Amino acid sequence: MDASVGASVDEFPDYPFVPRRIEIRPGIALSYLDEGPRDGEVVVMLHGNPSWSYYWRHLVVGLRDRYRCIVPDHVGMGLSDKPDDAQGASPRYDYTLRSRVDDVTTLLDALGITGPVTLAVHDWGGMIGIGWALRHLQQVRRLVILNTATFPLPPAKPMPRSLAFGRDSALGALAIRGFNAFSAIASHVGVARRMPPAVRRAYVAPYDSWANRIATLRFVQDIPLREGDPAWPLVEESGRHLHELADRPVFIGWGLRDFVFDRHCLATFTAALPHADVHAFEDADHYVLEDKHDVLVPMIRDFLEAHPL
Protein backbone atom coordinates (compact mmCIF):
# COMPACT_ATOMS: atom_id res chain seq x y z
CA MET A 1 0.00 0.00 0.00
CA ASP A 2 1.30 3.45 -0.91
CA ALA A 3 0.62 6.24 1.52
CA SER A 4 -0.35 8.66 -1.24
CA VAL A 5 -2.85 6.39 -3.02
CA GLY A 6 -5.91 4.80 -1.49
CA ALA A 7 -5.44 1.50 -3.31
CA SER A 8 -3.10 -1.47 -3.27
CA VAL A 9 -1.02 -2.24 -6.35
CA ASP A 10 -2.70 -5.65 -6.30
CA GLU A 11 -5.87 -3.88 -7.44
CA PHE A 12 -4.24 -2.62 -10.65
CA PRO A 13 -4.73 -5.08 -13.56
CA ASP A 14 -1.58 -6.33 -15.30
CA TYR A 15 0.72 -4.57 -12.82
CA PRO A 16 2.55 -7.48 -11.17
CA PHE A 17 5.32 -5.33 -9.77
CA VAL A 18 6.63 -4.24 -6.40
CA PRO A 19 7.38 -0.50 -6.65
CA ARG A 20 10.46 0.83 -4.91
CA ARG A 21 10.93 4.24 -3.31
CA ILE A 22 13.78 6.68 -3.11
CA GLU A 23 14.09 10.06 -1.40
CA ILE A 24 14.53 12.07 -4.57
CA ARG A 25 14.63 15.38 -2.67
CA PRO A 26 14.62 16.02 1.09
CA GLY A 27 11.35 14.70 2.45
CA ILE A 28 10.00 13.74 -1.00
CA ALA A 29 9.82 10.08 -2.09
CA LEU A 30 9.69 9.01 -5.71
CA SER A 31 8.20 5.62 -6.61
CA TYR A 32 9.77 3.62 -9.42
CA LEU A 33 9.95 0.17 -10.93
CA ASP A 34 13.27 -1.65 -11.25
CA GLU A 35 12.43 -4.88 -13.04
CA GLY A 36 14.69 -7.40 -14.74
CA PRO A 37 18.27 -8.63 -14.32
CA ARG A 38 20.72 -6.22 -12.68
CA ASP A 39 23.20 -6.85 -15.48
CA GLY A 40 20.64 -6.54 -18.28
CA GLU A 41 20.64 -3.78 -20.86
CA VAL A 42 18.91 -0.79 -19.26
CA VAL A 43 15.64 0.58 -20.63
CA VAL A 44 14.42 3.80 -18.97
CA MET A 45 10.70 4.46 -19.55
CA LEU A 46 9.30 7.93 -18.89
CA HIS A 47 5.56 8.57 -18.74
CA GLY A 48 3.64 11.80 -19.22
CA ASN A 49 0.54 13.54 -17.89
CA PRO A 50 -1.92 12.34 -16.59
CA SER A 51 -0.58 8.79 -16.64
CA TRP A 52 2.05 7.06 -14.50
CA SER A 53 4.26 3.95 -14.66
CA TYR A 54 1.10 1.92 -15.17
CA TYR A 55 1.17 3.07 -18.82
CA TRP A 56 4.36 1.05 -19.42
CA ARG A 57 3.21 -2.17 -17.70
CA HIS A 58 2.86 -4.31 -20.85
CA LEU A 59 6.28 -3.29 -22.15
CA VAL A 60 7.92 -4.01 -18.80
CA VAL A 61 6.38 -7.49 -18.70
CA GLY A 62 7.50 -8.06 -22.28
CA LEU A 63 11.12 -7.06 -21.62
CA ARG A 64 11.99 -7.83 -18.02
CA ASP A 65 13.25 -11.36 -18.63
CA ARG A 66 16.28 -9.88 -20.40
CA TYR A 67 16.27 -6.11 -19.93
CA ARG A 68 16.51 -4.01 -16.78
CA CYS A 69 13.48 -1.72 -16.86
CA ILE A 70 13.66 1.51 -14.83
CA VAL A 71 10.26 3.22 -14.73
CA PRO A 72 9.73 6.20 -12.40
CA ASP A 73 6.50 7.86 -11.38
CA HIS A 74 7.28 11.57 -11.59
CA VAL A 75 6.83 13.49 -8.36
CA GLY A 76 3.14 14.21 -7.91
CA MET A 77 2.19 11.33 -10.21
CA GLY A 78 1.33 7.69 -9.73
CA LEU A 79 2.59 6.26 -6.45
CA SER A 80 5.14 9.02 -5.79
CA ASP A 81 4.67 11.66 -3.11
CA LYS A 82 2.54 14.65 -4.04
CA PRO A 83 3.95 17.61 -2.14
CA ASP A 84 2.55 21.12 -2.28
CA ASP A 85 4.30 23.90 -4.16
CA ALA A 86 3.02 26.81 -2.07
CA GLN A 87 5.56 29.17 -0.57
CA GLY A 88 6.33 27.97 2.93
CA ALA A 89 5.22 24.39 2.27
CA SER A 90 7.49 21.73 3.74
CA PRO A 91 8.46 19.72 1.89
CA ARG A 92 7.97 21.89 -1.18
CA TYR A 93 8.37 20.85 -4.82
CA ASP A 94 8.75 23.07 -7.87
CA TYR A 95 6.59 21.43 -10.55
CA THR A 96 8.64 22.41 -13.60
CA LEU A 97 10.24 20.61 -16.51
CA ARG A 98 13.69 21.36 -15.12
CA SER A 99 12.78 19.68 -11.83
CA ARG A 100 11.63 16.58 -13.73
CA VAL A 101 14.87 16.34 -15.68
CA ASP A 102 16.91 16.77 -12.51
CA ASP A 103 14.88 14.01 -10.82
CA VAL A 104 15.73 11.56 -13.61
CA THR A 105 19.40 12.41 -13.18
CA THR A 106 19.20 11.91 -9.43
CA LEU A 107 17.39 8.58 -9.76
CA LEU A 108 19.74 7.09 -12.35
CA ASP A 109 22.82 8.30 -10.49
CA ALA A 110 21.51 6.73 -7.27
CA LEU A 111 20.94 3.43 -9.07
CA GLY A 112 24.42 3.50 -10.55
CA ILE A 113 23.13 3.71 -14.13
CA THR A 114 26.20 5.21 -15.77
CA GLY A 115 26.43 2.99 -18.85
CA PRO A 116 24.39 2.71 -22.04
CA VAL A 117 20.62 3.12 -21.85
CA THR A 118 17.64 2.85 -24.12
CA LEU A 119 15.28 5.76 -23.56
CA ALA A 120 11.54 5.13 -24.04
CA VAL A 121 9.29 8.19 -23.84
CA HIS A 122 5.63 9.15 -24.08
CA ASP A 123 3.83 12.49 -23.77
CA TRP A 124 5.70 14.78 -21.30
CA GLY A 125 8.20 11.94 -20.94
CA GLY A 126 9.60 13.05 -24.29
CA MET A 127 10.50 16.53 -23.11
CA ILE A 128 11.81 15.16 -19.81
CA GLY A 129 13.76 12.37 -21.48
CA ILE A 130 15.36 14.43 -24.21
CA GLY A 131 16.15 17.13 -21.66
CA TRP A 132 18.10 14.46 -19.78
CA ALA A 133 19.56 12.95 -22.97
CA LEU A 134 21.10 16.22 -24.14
CA ARG A 135 23.37 16.09 -21.09
CA HIS A 136 24.03 12.36 -21.38
CA LEU A 137 24.38 11.83 -25.12
CA GLN A 138 27.04 9.15 -24.73
CA GLN A 139 24.69 7.06 -22.59
CA VAL A 140 21.66 7.19 -24.89
CA ARG A 141 22.18 4.39 -27.42
CA ARG A 142 18.60 3.72 -28.59
CA LEU A 143 15.32 5.63 -28.52
CA VAL A 144 11.70 4.46 -28.38
CA ILE A 145 9.34 7.37 -29.06
CA LEU A 146 5.57 7.13 -28.57
CA ASN A 147 3.19 10.07 -29.13
CA THR A 148 5.16 12.92 -27.67
CA ALA A 149 6.98 16.11 -28.57
CA THR A 150 10.45 17.29 -27.67
CA PHE A 151 10.19 20.67 -29.37
CA PRO A 152 7.90 23.72 -29.42
CA LEU A 153 4.57 23.25 -31.18
CA PRO A 154 5.08 23.11 -34.96
CA PRO A 155 3.92 26.33 -36.67
CA ALA A 156 1.04 24.52 -38.37
CA LYS A 157 -0.14 22.99 -35.10
CA PRO A 158 -2.49 25.16 -33.01
CA MET A 159 -2.72 24.72 -29.26
CA PRO A 160 -5.79 22.50 -28.63
CA ARG A 161 -8.55 24.53 -27.02
CA SER A 162 -9.11 21.98 -24.25
CA LEU A 163 -5.46 22.25 -23.17
CA ALA A 164 -5.54 26.05 -23.40
CA PHE A 165 -8.64 26.03 -21.19
CA GLY A 166 -6.83 24.01 -18.52
CA ARG A 167 -3.58 25.93 -18.88
CA ASP A 168 -4.81 29.49 -18.86
CA SER A 169 -8.14 29.73 -17.03
CA ALA A 170 -9.19 29.53 -13.39
CA LEU A 171 -12.23 27.49 -14.40
CA GLY A 172 -10.03 25.00 -16.22
CA ALA A 173 -7.77 24.70 -13.20
CA LEU A 174 -10.81 24.09 -11.00
CA ALA A 175 -12.03 21.34 -13.34
CA ILE A 176 -8.65 19.58 -13.24
CA ARG A 177 -8.04 19.77 -9.49
CA GLY A 178 -11.59 19.81 -8.26
CA PHE A 179 -13.12 17.17 -10.50
CA ASN A 180 -10.12 15.23 -11.87
CA ALA A 181 -11.24 16.30 -15.33
CA PHE A 182 -7.89 15.86 -17.06
CA SER A 183 -7.19 12.32 -15.89
CA ALA A 184 -10.80 11.15 -16.15
CA ILE A 185 -11.34 12.55 -19.64
CA ALA A 186 -7.97 11.32 -20.92
CA SER A 187 -8.85 7.76 -19.89
CA HIS A 188 -11.84 7.99 -22.23
CA VAL A 189 -10.67 10.07 -25.20
CA GLY A 190 -7.01 8.99 -25.14
CA VAL A 191 -7.78 5.54 -26.53
CA ALA A 192 -9.41 4.26 -29.68
CA ARG A 193 -10.26 0.98 -27.96
CA ARG A 194 -12.27 1.52 -24.79
CA MET A 195 -10.37 0.73 -21.60
CA PRO A 196 -11.82 -1.99 -19.39
CA PRO A 197 -13.32 -0.36 -16.27
CA ALA A 198 -10.63 -1.77 -13.95
CA VAL A 199 -7.85 -0.41 -16.19
CA ARG A 200 -9.48 2.99 -16.31
CA ARG A 201 -9.77 2.99 -12.51
CA ALA A 202 -6.07 2.20 -12.26
CA TYR A 203 -5.18 5.20 -14.45
CA VAL A 204 -7.19 7.64 -12.34
CA ALA A 205 -6.61 6.05 -8.89
CA PRO A 206 -3.55 8.15 -7.95
CA TYR A 207 -5.50 11.36 -8.51
CA ASP A 208 -8.27 10.91 -5.95
CA SER A 209 -8.25 14.28 -4.18
CA TRP A 210 -7.56 17.98 -4.67
CA ALA A 211 -4.11 17.57 -3.10
CA ASN A 212 -3.25 14.53 -5.19
CA ARG A 213 -4.12 16.26 -8.48
CA ILE A 214 -1.57 19.02 -8.15
CA ALA A 215 0.81 17.60 -10.75
CA THR A 216 -1.88 16.93 -13.36
CA LEU A 217 -2.63 20.66 -13.29
CA ARG A 218 0.94 21.90 -12.99
CA PHE A 219 2.01 19.85 -16.03
CA VAL A 220 -0.72 21.53 -18.10
CA GLN A 221 0.23 24.97 -16.78
CA ASP A 222 3.89 24.28 -17.65
CA ILE A 223 3.18 23.67 -21.37
CA PRO A 224 5.61 26.05 -23.12
CA LEU A 225 4.06 28.13 -25.88
CA ARG A 226 6.37 31.11 -26.15
CA GLU A 227 9.60 32.66 -24.97
CA GLY A 228 9.24 33.61 -21.33
CA ASP A 229 7.39 30.45 -20.32
CA PRO A 230 9.46 28.55 -17.71
CA ALA A 231 9.86 25.39 -19.81
CA TRP A 232 10.56 27.22 -23.07
CA PRO A 233 14.39 27.36 -22.93
CA LEU A 234 14.74 23.61 -22.35
CA VAL A 235 12.12 22.63 -24.93
CA GLU A 236 13.52 25.03 -27.52
CA GLU A 237 17.01 23.64 -26.90
CA SER A 238 15.72 20.07 -27.20
CA GLY A 239 14.11 20.89 -30.53
CA ARG A 240 17.29 22.45 -31.90
CA HIS A 241 19.42 19.47 -30.91
CA LEU A 242 17.02 16.60 -31.66
CA HIS A 243 18.81 15.83 -34.93
CA GLU A 244 21.95 14.95 -32.95
CA LEU A 245 20.23 11.68 -31.98
CA ALA A 246 19.72 10.67 -35.61
CA ASP A 247 22.88 8.56 -35.67
CA ARG A 248 21.48 5.93 -33.29
CA PRO A 249 18.62 3.45 -33.64
CA VAL A 250 15.18 5.02 -33.15
CA PHE A 251 11.80 3.30 -32.99
CA ILE A 252 8.67 5.46 -33.36
CA GLY A 253 5.21 4.10 -32.51
CA TRP A 254 2.37 6.51 -33.13
CA GLY A 255 -1.38 6.64 -32.66
CA LEU A 256 -2.67 8.85 -35.46
CA ARG A 257 -5.95 9.68 -33.73
CA ASP A 258 -4.11 11.76 -31.13
CA PHE A 259 -5.43 15.35 -31.38
CA VAL A 260 -2.52 16.77 -29.36
CA PHE A 261 0.55 14.91 -30.58
CA ASP A 262 -0.75 14.54 -34.11
CA ARG A 263 0.72 14.15 -37.60
CA HIS A 264 2.46 17.51 -37.30
CA CYS A 265 4.48 16.25 -34.35
CA LEU A 266 5.19 12.92 -36.02
CA ALA A 267 6.44 14.75 -39.13
CA THR A 268 8.78 16.84 -36.99
CA PHE A 269 10.31 13.68 -35.55
CA THR A 270 10.72 11.95 -38.90
CA ALA A 271 12.36 15.05 -40.36
CA ALA A 272 14.89 15.22 -37.51
CA LEU A 273 15.35 11.43 -37.28
CA PRO A 274 15.07 10.31 -40.94
CA HIS A 275 16.32 6.76 -40.35
CA ALA A 276 13.82 5.96 -37.61
CA ASP A 277 11.79 2.76 -37.74
CA VAL A 278 8.27 4.26 -37.87
CA HIS A 279 5.01 2.45 -37.13
CA ALA A 280 1.93 4.68 -37.28
CA PHE A 281 -1.56 3.35 -36.58
CA GLU A 282 -4.75 4.85 -37.97
CA ASP A 283 -6.76 2.97 -35.33
CA ALA A 284 -4.79 4.10 -32.25
CA ASP A 285 -4.93 7.22 -30.12
CA HIS A 286 -2.73 9.04 -27.61
CA TYR A 287 -2.33 6.07 -25.26
CA VAL A 288 -0.93 4.05 -28.12
CA LEU A 289 0.41 1.32 -25.81
CA GLU A 290 -3.12 0.73 -24.57
CA ASP A 291 -4.54 0.44 -28.06
CA LYS A 292 -1.65 -1.49 -29.61
CA HIS A 293 0.39 -3.18 -26.87
CA ASP A 294 -0.17 -6.59 -28.44
CA VAL A 295 1.58 -5.33 -31.58
CA LEU A 296 4.01 -2.77 -30.20
CA VAL A 297 5.57 -4.81 -27.39
CA PRO A 298 6.93 -7.55 -29.71
CA MET A 299 7.91 -4.88 -32.25
CA ILE A 300 9.90 -2.95 -29.66
CA ARG A 301 11.56 -6.12 -28.41
CA ASP A 302 12.52 -7.06 -31.97
CA PHE A 303 13.90 -3.56 -32.44
CA LEU A 304 16.07 -3.83 -29.32
CA GLU A 305 17.35 -7.24 -30.33
CA ALA A 306 18.13 -6.03 -33.84
CA HIS A 307 20.29 -3.23 -32.40
CA PRO A 308 22.23 -4.76 -29.48
CA LEU A 309 24.34 -2.48 -27.36
Q: pLDDT tens digits for 98-129?
A: 999 999 999 999 999 999 999 999 999 999 99
Question: Distance of CA 45 to CAs 7, 35, 57, 175, 268, Å?
Answer: 23, 12, 10, 29, 21
Q: Model confidence at 10, in pLDDT bands (50, 70, 90)?
A: confident
In degrees, rounded to 5, the angle at the alpha carbon of residue 63 between the alpha carbons of residues 133 and 98 is 25
C-beta separation of 258 from 285 below 8 A? yes
Mean pLDDT is lowest, of 17-21, 44-48, 176-180, for: 176-180
Residues 222-264: pLDDT tens digits?
999 989 999 999 999 999 999 999 999 999 999 999 999 999 9
Residues 139-163: pLDDT tens digits?
999 999 999 999 999 988 888 888 8
CA distance 237 to 232: 8
pLDDT at residue 43 tops 50: yes
Average pLDDT of span 2-20: 78
In this predicted structure, what is the pLDDT of residue 45?
99
Among 247, 306, 254, 296, CA closest to 272: 247
In this predicted structure, what is the pLDDT of residue 3?
40
Average pLDDT of span 175-192: 93
pLDDT at residue 305 tops 50: yes
**Average pLDDT score, the chain:** 95
Q: Model confidence at 277, in pLDDT bands (50, 70, 90)?
A: very high
In this predicted structure, what is the pLDDT of residue 165?
85
CB contact set of 287 (below 8 Å; sequence gap of 6+) = 51, 55, 147, 186, 190, 191, 255
CA distance 218 to 211: 12
DSSP code string of the chain = --TTSSS-GGGSTT-----EEEEEETTEEEEEEEES-TTSPEEEEE--SS--GGGGHHHHHHHTTTSEEEEEPPTTSTTS---B-STT-SSB---SHHHHHHHHHHHHHHTT--S-EEEEEEEHHHHHHHHHHTT-TTTEEEEEEEEE-SSSPPTT-PPPHHHHHHHH-HHHHHHHHHH-HHHHHHHHHT-SSPPPHHHHHHHHTT--STGGGHHHHHHHHT---SBTBTTHHHHHHHHHHGGGGTTS-EEEEEETT-SSS-HHHHHHHHHHSTT-EEEEETT--SSHHHHHHHHHHHHHHHHHHHS--
Instruction: Pick the more confident residue, 4 or 205.
Output: 205
Average pLDDT of span 88-104: 98
Residues 63-87: pLDDT tens digits?
999 999 999 999 999 999 999 999 9
pLDDT at residue 2 tops 70: no
In this predicted structure, what is the pLDDT of residue 6?
52
In this predicted structure, what is the pLDDT of residue 5?
56
Taking each helix axis from N to C end, the angle separating 124-133 and 97-110, rounded to the nearest 10 degrees, works out to: 60
CA distance 216 to 282: 28
In this predicted structure, what is the pLDDT of residue 1?
31
